[in-house]
Structure 1
Amino acid sequence: MSAGQRLVVVNSTWGPRSLFGDADDVLPRLLESLTRELPVDAYRRCAVLHPNIWHGHGPGQVRAWLRRAEQAGLTVVPPLGPWRQVLAAADAVIGDHGSVTYYAAAIGTPVLLGAFPEADLDPASPVAELGRTAPRLRPYEPLLPQLDELLAHHHPDRHAQLTALASSSPGSSAALLRRAFYGLMGLAEPSAPAYLPRLLDPTYGDLPSDIPPAPPLLAPLQVLTHLRDHRPAAPPEIAVTRHADGLGAHPAPPRGPEPTATPASPPAAAPTTSQAPPHTASPTTSHPGAHTAVHEDVPDVTRLALADLVLHDSRPEPAAWTREAMRRHRHCAMAACVTAPDTCLVRLPDGRLVTLTAAPGPDGHRDLCDPAVYASALYAWYERGKPVEELLDGLVVVTGGTSHRLQVTITPPR
């Protein structure tokens, strides 16, 4: 998770009337909305699916259904993965009548019900009570306003009665179950304390303790930028908002500024081609622009022909890769390679290399985001005809509600 990011979790139990199996095809529309409407740097998206979904359909089929969403940034938690940690970190959960969605409500997390078959539940059950009190997803309406509404009107004690119903003896299930089982067998219990061992996740090969790493963004990115007017004695500041285009949809119309970070005027809509529209000075303090950034490993290689900025990561010789990428994709303006969690190397059209590195704050801590954002900020600066040398004293990139100060180094062509 990057500073300022919100975590939205999609959760489904198993069965034909679950969110994953709903006959109204809620899930495909939901996945498209998560991709199209939520900026990738402001929102982290995870999917937690019941193990029976994986075992019933097979991991290969489940991955195939979710592949495009994964390429657009969805993290799919494996069946034995750290779903508890994901749930604890979630800012919102979109779920159904399964136990994980219920647990989310019980710990005070905002819950939006995407599917809820009341007829399948005992009306007196705690889960049925969740269905009577939690708001419902409106699948044919934009998702982002619904999330904003959910978070704005939520109170941690909204489902306090569900917390009380979750367990009559918290933390005692191992002892109670062992006592019952040994009683049924007519045997005396062992003297050692009862406990539930943790399951090892074969995907990780160890005890899962953290949220899985975000998958690489292989989907094309439509990037909206704002260049704020340069204030004296302050580094230039550029706001960057990126939308993944992994499901074949164009970004949702911008809703205006992001809280506390983005400029006051709304961004221009992203173009459908690689050419950004002419830029004119805004009457406010921002100058909007747009471009398309495409990872070189994009599944649909035809999308590379639309790239203004070609991206890659973890190449053994990043400088050589940027040079070759500019040769292979002659239509693009820049090539950028993420070389570390806090660093990006960018080759300019004139062959110079620019290294962008997250600068430590006063406390020595670096607020990290995807370093490919740095390259988009540099593109926004360069396409306006501004000298890169003016960035040698630093650059501030604003994304996901957080400002990131960068150190800029320029080296001659090589």
Structure 2
Amino acid sequence: MGRVGARVTQGRAEWLRVPVGDGAVRWATRGKCLRVLVVVHNVTSATRLLDVLPLFDGDLRIQLLATCPQSSAFSAGTAELLAGTGVPVLPWEQALQTPVDLAVSASFGGELELLRGKLAVLSHGVGYTKRLAAPDTGHRTPDAGAAAGTEAGARAGSESGPVPVFGQAPQWVLSDGVPVADALVLSHPEQCDRLRAACPEAAPTAVLAGDPCFDRVLAARPYRERFRRALGVRAGQRLIVLNSTWNPASFFGDGGTGGDDLLPALLPRLAREFPVDEYRFAAVLHPNIWHGHGPGQVRAWLDRARRGGLALIDPLEGWRQALVAADAVVGDHGSVTFYAAALGTPVLLAAAPLHELDPEAPISDFMRVAPRLDPGAPLREQVDRLVERHRPLPGPAEFTTSVPGEAAARLRSLFYSMMGAAEPEWPASLQPLPLPGHEPVSVTVPLHVLTRVSHRGEVTMTRWAGAPPSAGCADGDVHIAVHEDTRDVDGLELADVVFRDGRPDDPRFGSPALWTAEVLDRHPGCALAAFVAGPSECVVRPRGGRLLGLTSAPEAPVDPAAAASALHALLGAGDGGGNAVAGRLVALLADGGFTVRTGARSARVRVVGLSPG
């Protein structure tokens, strides 16, 4: 609100001198610009602020500035993120002393009331829904407070009444009885109603301007198949996104004092119960998990699952695309799970601590009626039933935004009116979601492969990234296929099939022909070596046989490693020794290939003989 208080200035030597600061008039090339200060508390709030920064693109009258209040417990990663934007970053003390035409934040924290300019505050999730005890530190930030589900949060609530709702209660939105923000951006009238009931003094600052994050997601829906291909999802596979907000009561949390820790038992079951050719898993974790515990620690915790095929999604950019691509989401009470439901995606709740939510918020209504995960029941049956019987609930889509597709126009109009400036003449727009880089499935734990060969030469196959369920292997033959880069090195000595992926012209491997020969020589128990050269092709060498090329249709390819395992099953069907194997090879080449069935999908694999190279 532009109220300036007395501050002790420290570290002035680190203050910027251009485009603002001492001598900026002398040094700045465009010194007459309107100043827009972006207040980034942490990576979480940055995700929403980066949604709206493109609204200023192309305007030569605007100088963007950024700052971090350093009030968040989760400030790790913020400095690197700000450096990556290329926007000048002011130390917080300098930001408080610098007059600006507009400040934009996506959280309450760091004494925002002392900023010298008009302030707009956006939500960094689906409105304001969570209870959070207000801190007594002077740093009004959700990370300085105590979550409702924690011991400190419960104590704060019992001492002073119910735990307040972040972004709605007076403890969060007022300073000395005056609204912190000049404009509090909301996405739906029901949020305005709750604000009016919780804090009438702040109600006049409410501005209905939609949800820029959800608008970007809605606009990206036509590219769903591209996003799925980028994540390595093949035809016939279901993409299941595991989503968690932060804190002990979340899906990823350990339950805190007296709570249940779901993950240690659940993660291994994903490998045992879900065949890799029929399901693809991806994890979308809250940035506060990543930067609270450290990205390296998160990767270490999920190492075994990642080697079993789990994709770990970037918390800043890739999660929206994963939501668009998903067939189902297993989540909790966080905003991402609610966004998934708003898209009409089936949602299964692994955690739903209603005591942490505003009981009047639409997300609470959703949590009360959405299906729950039963950790004691078979997981695959629950997921399949969820997808096959799904009927979208109307609440999430209705209450996420009342003005879908309008956030860009409404927000730009708000920002420029707050600066007292005319809008640019071109239409307001948000950045389209970028197409993520291709992330092929990489399973490096030993694969247990169940095959059944029909009299017509069709191979029905099921592969697990772990020990298969014993009941499923009663009818068929099981072999082990292992990636050469596995950490389970003992598995290589037990492998019937050894495979790897790489470029055929990579000089480190010599050539696919040389590599396959070396593998068979190095691992006497291996019956077939397969060099995966692309999404739909591989070069294989059966022991005692000739070099072969396996390919499938590029528009709906079979995993080449699966094709190699199918060939191994065909060559070994009925045994019969070397002459029988040679005869089967001749028959396969004469037929031009074979058919592989995984789940409900079947596809043709072409077989050609290759020169020894």
TM range (shorter): 0.7 to 0.9
Counterpart residue identity of residue 399, structure 2: L
- Shift, 1:348, TM fit: 1.3
Cα separation, 2, equivalents of 1:81 and 1:382: 45
- Does residue 406 (structure 1) correspond to residue 605 (structure 2)? The answer is yes
CA contact (8 A) 2:501 2:532 kept: yes
2:249 is paired with a residue of what secondary structure?
coil
Which residue in the other structure is 2:342 paired with?
Answer: 106
The verdict on how the C-alpha distance between 1:174 and 1:290 changes in structure 2, with shifts beyond 3 A counting, is same
Residue 374 of structure 1: which of 563, 567, 586 is its match?
Answer: 563
Over 6 Å off, 4+ runs? none
**Pairs within 5 Å for 1:279-298:** 288-298=476-486
2:521 is paired with a residue of what secondary structure?
helix
Which residue in the other structure is 1:142 paired with?
Answer: 378
Which residue in the other structure is 1:268 paired with?
Answer: 473
- Shift, 1:212, TM fit: 4.7
- Shift, 1:401, TM fit: 2.5
- Shift, 1:18, TM fit: 1.1
Which residue in the other structure is 2:172 paired with?
Answer: none
The verdict on how the C-alpha distance between 1:222 and 1:176 changes in structure 2, with shifts beyond 3 A counting, is same
Q: Using CA pairs below 8 Å that are at least 6 residues apart, which structure has the higher relative contact order? A: 1
- The CA deviation string for residues 314-361 of structure 1, in whole angstroms up to 9 with x for no partner, is 153111111111111111111111122221211111142222111x4x
Larger radius of gyration: 2
- The CA deviation string for residues 6-34 of structure 1, in whole angstroms up to 9 with x for no partner, is 11110111122111114122123332222
Which residue in the other structure is 2:461 paired with?
Answer: 240
- Does residue 343 (structure 1) correspond to residue 540 (structure 2)? The answer is no
TM-score by length of 1: 0.81
- The CA deviation string for residues 212-257 of structure 1, in whole angstroms up to 9 with x for no partner, is 5134111110001111112xxxxx2111111002xxxx22345xxx
Which residue in the other structure is 2:107 paired with?
Answer: none
Which residue in the other structure is 1:321 paired with?
Answer: 515
Cα separation, 1, equivalents of 2:287 and 2:444: 27
Which residue in the other structure is 1:303 paired with?
Answer: 491
Which residue in the other structure is 1:14 paired with?
Answer: 246
CA contact (8 A) 2:236 2:600 kept: yes
- The CA deviation string for residues 55-110 of structure 1, in whole angstroms up to 9 with x for no partner, is 21121111111111111111111122322221112111000001110011111111
Cα separation, 1, equivalents of 2:265 and 2:421: 52
Cα separation, 1, equivalents of 2:547 and 2:366: 56
TM-score by length of 2: 0.56
CA contact (8 A) 2:416 2:423 kept: no
Cα separation, 2, equivalents of 1:212 and 1:33: 26
1:240 is paired with a residue of what secondary structure?
strand
Which residue in the other structure is 1:39 paired with?
Answer: 275
Structure 2: 5+ residue stretches without partners: 1-232, 576-580
CA contact (8 A) 2:366 2:395 kept: no
RMSD: 2.2
The verdict on how the C-alpha distance between 1:215 and 1:190 changes in structure 2, with shifts beyond 3 A counting, is farther
The verdict on how the C-alpha distance between 1:189 and 1:125 changes in structure 2, with shifts beyond 3 A counting, is farther
CA contact (8 A) 2:480 2:497 kept: yes
The verdict on how the C-alpha distance between 1:161 and 1:411 changes in structure 2, with shifts beyond 3 A counting, is closer
The verdict on how the C-alpha distance between 1:367 and 1:321 changes in structure 2, with shifts beyond 3 A counting, is same
Residue 548 of structure 2: which of 345, 354, 358 is its match?
Answer: 354
Counterpart residue identity of residue 107, structure 1: L
- The CA deviation string for residues 118-144 of structure 1, in whole angstroms up to 9 with x for no partner, is 100011111111111111111122200
Percent sequence identity is: 49
The verdict on how the C-alpha distance between 1:332 and 1:95 changes in structure 2, with shifts beyond 3 A counting, is same
**Pairs within 5 Å for 1:103-252:** 103-155=339-391, 158-177=392-411, 187-192=419-424, 195=428, 197-198=430-431, 208-210=434-436, 212-230=438-456, 236-245=457-466, 250-252=467-469
CA contact (8 A) 1:351 1:412 kept: no
- Judging by fraction of residues, say which structure has more helix: 2
CA contact (8 A) 1:72 1:244 kept: yes
Cα separation, 2, equivalents of 1:103 and 1:397: 37
1:299 is paired with a residue of what secondary structure?
coil
CA contact (8 A) 1:178 1:194 kept: no
1:127 is paired with a residue of what secondary structure?
helix
Cα separation, 1, equivalents of 2:452 and 2:436: 34
Cα separation, 2, equivalents of 1:89 and 1:293: 29
The verdict on how the C-alpha distance between 1:116 and 1:194 changes in structure 2, with shifts beyond 3 A counting, is farther
Counterpart residue identity of residue 603, structure 2: H
Counterpart residue identity of residue 17, structure 1: A
CA contact (8 A) 1:43 1:400 kept: no
Cα separation, 1, equivalents of 2:250 and 2:411: 28
1:2 is paired with a residue of what secondary structure?
coil
Residue 594 of structure 2: which of 390, 395, 410 is its match?
Answer: 395
**Pairs within 5 Å for 1:15-94:** 15-23=247-255, 24-94=260-330
Structure 1: 5+ residue stretches without partners: 200-206, 231-235, 255-266, 270-286
Cα separation, 2, equivalents of 1:196 and 1:61: 37
The verdict on how the C-alpha distance between 1:197 and 1:55 changes in structure 2, with shifts beyond 3 A counting, is farther
2:302 is paired with a residue of what secondary structure?
helix
Counterpart residue identity of residue 295, structure 1: H
